[in-house]
Structure 1
Amino acid sequence: MNARTRSGWWLMGWLVAASAQAACTRAVNVPLAPIGRSVSFDGGKAQGIYPTLLREVSAASQCQMDLRKVPRARLQTMFDAGQADILIPASATPARDATAEFVPLIQVRVSLLTLDGDAPVPRSLAEMLAQPDYKLAVVRGFSFGAAYDEAIAALRQRNRLIEEPDPSGVTRALRQGLAHGTVMAASILVGTLVNEPELTPLLKRLRVEPLDEMAWSASGLYLSRRSLDEAERRTLRTAFVHVARSGRVWQLFNDHHPPGSLGVSIRPLPP
C-alpha cells in the first residue's frame, strides 16, 4: 500500500467516525509562521507538513480552518490573547498548559546546530552558559521546554543572544559569524536549507550535536481553552490523536525531507 493510499484509508475511517460529532460552528483560526519544510508559503497559500495535515483534518472533522501567515513571535502573542485557536507546531510548556490543551503528534530532539569548524562545541546548555564568549542565534518565540527557556533568558541577560524572526534569519546569522550556533530540532534547519537555494550549500557544513539537557520530547499542537469550547476541542482533539496514531504525521515528515535526514531529530510517537 503506497503513501497516498494509506492517507486515503485513515481519512476515510475518520470521516465515518467524525460525521456524527463534528462540532465546529465557525472557522478555526490557525495563524502559521514559516518553519522549514513544516510550514512555508507560496504567495498567500500555506504549504508544507502542517498545512497539509490541517487541511486533511479539516476535511475529516468538517471543521473549516483559516490558515494565514504571521511572524512566529506574533503567533505566540495572538494565541496567548485568545486570538488564535490552534498553536502549531508547539512543544509542551507549563505556561501554555495553563490556558490550552496539548495534543502530541511526533517526538523531537533539540540539538546544538553549528556550521563546520574545528572549535570544540558545548556538550550541554550549562557548558554553553559557562563559556563567556559563546553566542547563540535563535528564533524569537521558539520554546523547547524549561531548560531551553532558562538558558535563553540567561543568554539574553548577558547580551549573548541573537534573536531572529525565522530560521532563515538564524541561518544567515550563523553564516555571517554573528553567532556560534543555534538550538532547535535539526529538521527545522535542514528544511530551511532545502527550501532556500541561496542557503542549500550550507547543508554540507551543518553539524548536529546532542545536548545533555535536551532529551526526546513530544511536539504537537495546542488547542486554546480561551477561544474553543469543549465540544470544538473534543472534535479537534479526536481528529489529531487519530492522525498521529495512524502514522500519517510521520509519513508527512518523511515525504518532505531528504532521505536519512530525520533520525537525529524526529521520530514517531511510541505505540
Structure 2
Amino acid sequence: MNVIQRSVIASLAALAALGAQAGCTRPLRVPLAPIGVSVSFEGSQAMGIYPTLLREAAANAGCQLEVQRVPRARQQTLFDAGHADILVPASATPARDAVAEFVPLIQVRPSVLALDEQAQLPRSLADLLARPDYKLAVVRGFSFGPAYDNTIAALRQRQRLVEEADAVGVARALRQGLAQGTVMPASIFVGTLLVENDLQPLLRQLRAEPLEELGWSASGLYLSRRSLNADDRSVLRQAFGTAARAGRVWQLFNEHHPAGSLGLSIRPLP
C-alpha cells in the first residue's frame, strides 16, 4: 500500500467519524451539468469524478443528495438564485464569493486548445484578441477568472464567440470549423472526447498551449450562503476539505484519465 492509498484510507475513516456526529439538516440540492468524465449520466444516474466525490463526502458526513441534470448555464442560474446548495466544479470568482463559500479541491490551468495541427496557437489572451479572424468556442457559464471573463466579453461584442451548452458542443464546433480554438483546462476537453465515441478520433489532433494571463489556480466547489445554514456549510466544508487534502480528488482524476494526460492542466493542492 503506497502513501497516497494510506492517506485516502485515513481520510475516509476521518469522514466516517465526522458522519457519526454530524449531518445536514435537509437533503442537498445539487444540479450537475455533463462535463466529460468529470460528470456524466446513465439515465438519471450521475457518474464520474464529481458525482463519486459528492456521494462519498455526503454519505460520510451524514447528508443526502438530490441530484438534477441541467445545462451548465442553468446550473449557474439556479445557484445564483439560491435554488441550489452546491456548485461544482467551479473556479473562484468575486461574483461567486459574494454569495457563497469556496472550497478548493484541485489546481487547474486553462489552455487554448485547437484541432488544427499546423496553425500557430495564441500564447496569451492579448494575442488571441489581436487576431481579427480568430473565433473562440466556449461553454456558456464557464469562468476562469477576470482575465478570461473580460476576454469572453470582448469576443462576444466583436461577434467572434461561439457559445455552447457543454464541452461536447464546443468539440463539435471546432470539428466543423465554426471556431479555431477553445479555452478550458485540457483535462475537461480530453475527458469529453473520451466519453463521446464520435469525438474520440479528435484526441490525435488535439493541441494545447498555456496562456500567459491564466496561471495555476484553485478549482473546487461553492457552498451557497443563500440556501445553506452555517452548520451545514461547516459540515460540508470539513468533509470536502478532508477529501481534497488527503488526495482523494487527485486519485479520482487519475482513475478517470489516461496516464500522463493531466500534467499541463491539473494537479493536486499544494
How high is the TM-score relative to the length of structure 1?
0.97
How many Å separate the matches in 1 of 2:239 and 2:37? Answer: 22
How far 1:46 moved relative to its partner?
Answer: 0.2
How many Å separate the matches in 1 of 2:192 and 2:16? Answer: 34
How many Å separate the matches in 1 of 2:9 and 2:68? Answer: 26
Q: String of CA shifts for 1:165-214, please: whole Å, max 9, x gaps.
A: 00000000000111000000000000011101110010000001010001
Runs of 4+ in 1 over 4 A off after TM superposition: 2-8
Larger deviation, residues 244-253 vs 11-20 = 11-20
**Match in the other structure for 1:128:** 128
How many Å separate the matches in 2 of 1:266 and 1:68? Answer: 26
Q: String of CA shifts for 1:9-42, please: whole Å, max 9, x gaps.
A: 42222211342233x1110001000011100001
How many Å separate the matches in 2 of 1:8 and 1:26? Answer: 28
**Match in the other structure for 2:71:** 71
**Match in the other structure for 1:16:** 17
8 Å contact from structure 2 (residues 8, 247) kept in 1? no
8 Å contact from structure 2 (residues 90, 220) kept in 1? yes
How many Å separate the matches in 2 of 1:95 and 1:44? Answer: 31
Q: Does 1:199 align with 2:199?
A: yes
How many Å separate the matches in 1 of 2:121 and 2:14? Answer: 48
Q: String of CA shifts for 1:228-263, please: whole Å, max 9, x gaps.
A: 000000000011110000100000000000110000
Correspondences of 1:80-159 after superposition (within 5 Å):
80-159=80-159
How many Å separate the matches in 1 of 2:119 and 2:57? Answer: 46
How many Å separate the matches in 1 of 2:20 and 2:62? Answer: 8
Correspondences of 1:19-58 after superposition (within 5 Å):
19-22=20-23, 24-58=24-58
Correspondences of 1:202-213 after superposition (within 5 Å):
202-213=202-213
How many Å separate the matches in 2 of 1:264 and 1:183? Answer: 13
Q: Does 1:187 align with 2:187?
A: yes
How many Å separate the matches in 2 of 1:63 and 1:100? Answer: 19
Quick one: which amino acid aligns to residue 239 of structure 1? Answer: A
How far 1:7 moved relative to its partner?
Answer: 4.5
Quick one: which amino acid aligns to residue 18 of structure 2? Answer: A
How high is the TM-score relative to the length of structure 2?
0.97
SS in 1 for 2:232: helix
**Where does structure 2 lack aligned partners over 5 or more consecutive residues?**
none
How far 1:118 moved relative to its partner?
Answer: 1.7
Quick one: which amino acid aligns to residue 95 of structure 2? Answer: A
SS in 2 for 1:25: coil
SS in 2 for 1:67: strand
How many Å separate the matches in 2 of 1:215 and 1:243? Answer: 24
SS in 2 for 1:19: helix
How far 1:116 moved relative to its partner?
Answer: 2.8
How many Å separate the matches in 1 of 2:12 and 2:117? Answer: 47
Alignment RMSD (CA, Å): 1.3
How many Å separate the matches in 2 of 1:236 and 1:243? Answer: 11
Size of the alignment, in residue pairs?
A: 269
How many Å separate the matches in 2 of 1:64 and 1:5? Answer: 27
How many Å separate the matches in 2 of 1:13 and 1:93? Answer: 30
8 Å contact from structure 2 (residues 91, 219) kept in 1? yes
